[in-house]
């Protein structure tokens, strides 16, 4: 059993396109011992986020790249099992930047204790990176106003689905773009979007012309590519494009497809396209989590989780994001928490 053993997924070669199973090697070793001020965490749930693909690039992106021979990093939750840090008692669940392994030693930096009454894995989704990304990206960068038309791409994903529901709470007409009829039905029937466009079977541009003949005020973009270009063609004056993701590019800068040829509409329509990183809002995380929790507990925001199992399946689970296989937050269960409480 893994209780006496620590398995680590180590980067042994850099992926060219999609992440392959063979880019990582499972290495086994003893469970590590926490040093002074450190805690030993049993990793229980891993989060999967498109941005992780960028961490594997040789030059890095907004953070230093993962080096060959290093254990893959990941947002995750786990339970503190041994602690030399008075802030974290054994038994508490914590969320933070952990790693693709059974056991993780941390000095406590950027570790958040999962609040009372919150399911730990929700700290990776609706109260974690994806929910907070949606919250800050939509409200602070997109700044939608009641009555405006908001379009979201990757709308059935963990971030997009929350962004669209927040837009709806704020009184906007909300249109989601997603792949496949199952996702599109979920958007309208469960998540309360006003409309959904299935990019696999419909033309995004002409559907937008029907659904939003006056044009688009806010576009929350997780995808890039042709969808971004179609929306840029249809922005209204003073529109705001929120750049959250570009999953269609696969996050591989060496192989970038052409950018949006309609970008100059930003000038002709006095509009802006703006990016952000979740880390920009570190000081407001508490506000974001509190607001999300109010909305979730009031039933105003719903979310789905796509749950995989087994640490060894981490690379293929990351791949699912780029294949559009997940509906909702992509998670992987590593283990049950070993301690009671």
Q: Which residues bind its own copies (CB under 8 A)?
A: 54, 61-62, 224, 229, 243-246, 249, 256-277, 280
- Minimum distance, C-beta of residue 63 to its own copies, in the bound complex (Å): 10
- Minimum distance, C-beta of residue 278 to its own copies, in the bound complex (Å): 10
Q: Indicate the angle between helix axes 158-169 and 129-136, nearest 10 degrees.
A: 40
Q: Which is nearer to its own copies, 269 or 316 (CB)?
A: 269
Q: Which is nearer to its own copies, 2 or 262 (CB)?
A: 262
- Residues 335/3, Cβ–Cβ less than 8 Å: no
Q: Which is nearer to its own copies, 258 or 341 (CB)?
A: 258
- Minimum distance, C-beta of residue 206 to its own copies, in the bound complex (Å): 17
Least Cα distance to 55 among 5, 15, 2 occurs for 15
Q: Which is nearer to its own copies, 78 or 157 (CB)?
A: 157
- Residues 129/75, Cβ–Cβ less than 8 Å: yes
Q: Which is nearer to its own copies, 273 or 327 (CB)?
A: 273
Q: Which is nearer to its own copies, 259 or 338 (CB)?
A: 259
How far apart CA 298 and CA 34 sit, in angstroms, is 40
List, in order, residues 6 or more apart from 303 with CB less than 8 Å away: 125, 126, 131, 158, 161, 162, 296, 328, 329
Q: Indicate the angle between helix axes 285-297 and 129-136, nearest 10 degrees.
A: 100
- Minimum distance, C-beta of residue 116 to its own copies, in the bound complex (Å): 33
Q: Which is nearer to its own copies, 23 or 246 (CB)?
A: 246
Q: Indicate the angle between helix axes 158-169 and 285-297, nearest 10 degrees.
A: 80
- Minimum distance, C-beta of residue 249 to its own copies, in the bound complex (Å): 7
- Minimum distance, C-beta of residue 134 to its own copies, in the bound complex (Å): 14
DSSP structure class, residue 128: S
DSSP string, 193-235: -SEEEETTTS-HHHHHHHH-TT-EEEEEESS-HHHHHHHHHTE
Q: Which is nearer to its own copies, 244 or 311 (CB)?
A: 244
How far apart CA 85 and CA 108 sit, in angstroms, is 8
How far apart CA 177 and CA 192 sit, in angstroms, is 14
- Minimum distance, C-beta of residue 143 to its own copies, in the bound complex (Å): 12
- Minimum distance, C-beta of residue 201 to its own copies, in the bound complex (Å): 26
- Minimum distance, C-beta of residue 221 to its own copies, in the bound complex (Å): 9
End-to-end CA distance of the chain: 22
List, in order, residues 6 or more apart from 180 with CB less than 8 Å away: 198, 200, 324
Q: Which is nearer to its own copies, 238 or 300 (CB)?
A: 238
Least Cα distance to 9 among 309, 310, 315, 336 occurs for 315
């Amino acid at each position: 059993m893994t209780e006496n053993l620590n398995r680590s997924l180590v980067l042994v070669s850099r992926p060219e396109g999609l992440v392959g199973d063979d880019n990582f090697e499972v290495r086994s070793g003893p469970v590590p011992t926490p040093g002074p001020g450190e805690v030993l965490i049993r990793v229980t749930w891993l989060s999967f986020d498109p941005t992780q693909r960028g961490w594997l690039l040789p030059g890095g992106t907004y953070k230093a790249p993962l080096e060959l021979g290093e254990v893959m990093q990941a947002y995750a939750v786990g339970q503190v099992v041994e602690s030399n840090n008075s802030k974290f008692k054994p038994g508490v669940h914590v969320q933070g930047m952990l790693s693709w392994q059974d056991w993780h030693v941390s000095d406590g930096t950027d570790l958040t204790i999962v609040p009372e009454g919150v399911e730990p894995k929700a700290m990776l989704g609706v109260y974690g990176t994806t929910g907070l990304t949606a919250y800050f990206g939509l409200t602070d960068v997109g700044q939608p106003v009641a009555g405006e038309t908001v379009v979201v791409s990757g709308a059935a994903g963990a971030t997009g689905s929350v962004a669209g529901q927040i837009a709806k709470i704020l009184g906007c007409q909300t249109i989601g773009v997603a792949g496949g009829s199952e996702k599109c039905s979920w958007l309208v029937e469960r998540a309360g979007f006003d409309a959904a466009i299935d990019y696999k079977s419909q033309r995004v541009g002409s559907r937008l012309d029907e659904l939003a003949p006056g044009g688009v005020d806010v576009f929350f973009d997780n995808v890039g590519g042709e969808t971004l270009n179609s929306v840029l063609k249809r922005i209204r004056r003073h529109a705001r494009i929120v750049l959250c993701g570009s999953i269609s590019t696969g996050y591989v800068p060496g192989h970038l497809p052409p950018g949006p040829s309609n970008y100059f509409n930003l000038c002709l329509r006095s509009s802006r396209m703006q990016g952000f990183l979740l880390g920009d809002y570190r000081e407001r995380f508490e506000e974001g989590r509190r607001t999300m929790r109010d909305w979730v507990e009031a039933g105003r925001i719903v979310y789905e989780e796509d749950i995989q199992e087994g640490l060894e399946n981490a690379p293929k689970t990351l791949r699912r994001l780029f294949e559009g296989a997940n509906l909702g937050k992509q998670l992987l269960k590593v283990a049950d928490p070993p301690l009671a409480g």
